[in-house]
Amino acid sequence: MILGGDDYFECPVCNTFVSRPFLLSGNTFKARLYSDGKKDAPMLPEFPAITKCPNCYHIYWLNANTKCEKQNSEQIPNAEFLSAFDLQRAIDEGLASNRENDIYLRQRILWTINDRFRYGFSLFNDYETRVLWDSNQLRLLAILDENQLNEKILIAEICRNMGAFSKSRDLISSIEHNDLDWVKAAFIENIDKRNKNVFEIKLL
C-alpha cells in the first residue's frame, strides 16, 4: 500500500479544515469480506466520504464542493468516519440527495452497527441502536432494487438478519453467476444454521 498524501476539505459553515489521505496503490492482501458487503482490506483501507466538522459538528460530504487547496499547518485533524447516529442525522438533514447517497449512508449505518458484532461485542448496546437498526433495515428494503445484483445480495442479507430465512434463501438461490457460487454457498450454510448475524464469507 502506498499513501499518496492528503487531500484537504473545508467545513462550509465554519471553514475549519480536515485532511484525508489518498492511496496511490493498494491491494486486497488479507482482505476479509462480510455478508453485509463490508470489505476489511488492511492494504486497501477505505477513507470517509462524509464527515462531521470537529469544530462546529456540521456534517458534510468530502467532495469537489468542499475540497480546498493544500494546507501547510501540521495541526489539521483527519476526517473521521460518522457514527451510526450521525449517519442517520446526515439523512435527516437532507444529505442523501439521491438514491446512491441514500444507499451509501444506510449501508454504512448497517456496517457501523454490525461492526460491534464483527469485532466481538454484542450487536446492540442500547435501545436507541436497536430502534435505528430496525428503521434502517426497513428503509433499505424499500429502496433497494432486486434487479441489481449487489442490491439483491444486500436484500437477502437483511431478510436473513430479520429471520426471514426462506425469503433470503429464495433470493440467494436465484443468483445465476457461477463466479458467485462461494458467496451463495456461504449464505445457504448460514441460512440453514438459522444464523441472523453478520458472518465472514471465506474464500473456498
- Contact footprint for Zn ion (CB under 5 A): 11, 13-14, 16, 53, 55-56, 58
Residue 60 CB, nearest distance to Zn ion (Å)? 8
Residue 84 CB, nearest distance to Zn ion (Å)? 21
Contacts of 135 (CB under 8 A, 6+ apart): none
Q: Which helix (H) or strand (E) holds 99?
A: helix 99-118
Residue 24 CB, nearest distance to Zn ion (Å)? 29
Q: Which is nearer to Zn ion, 11 or 144 (CB)?
A: 11
**Cell numbers of 10, please?**
473545508
Q: How far apart are CA 153 and CA 171, in angstroms?
A: 8
Closest-CA residue to 79 (of 66, 89, 91, 88): 66
Q: Which is nearer to Zn ion, 16 or 19 (CB)?
A: 16
Q: How far apart are CA 174 and CA 78, in angstroms?
A: 43
Q: Which is nearer to Zn ion, 16 or 101 (CB)?
A: 16
Determine contact, residues 80/52, Cβ cutoff 8 Å. yes
Q: Which is nearer to Zn ion, 52 or 108 (CB)?
A: 52
Residue 45 CB, nearest distance to Zn ion (Å)? 25
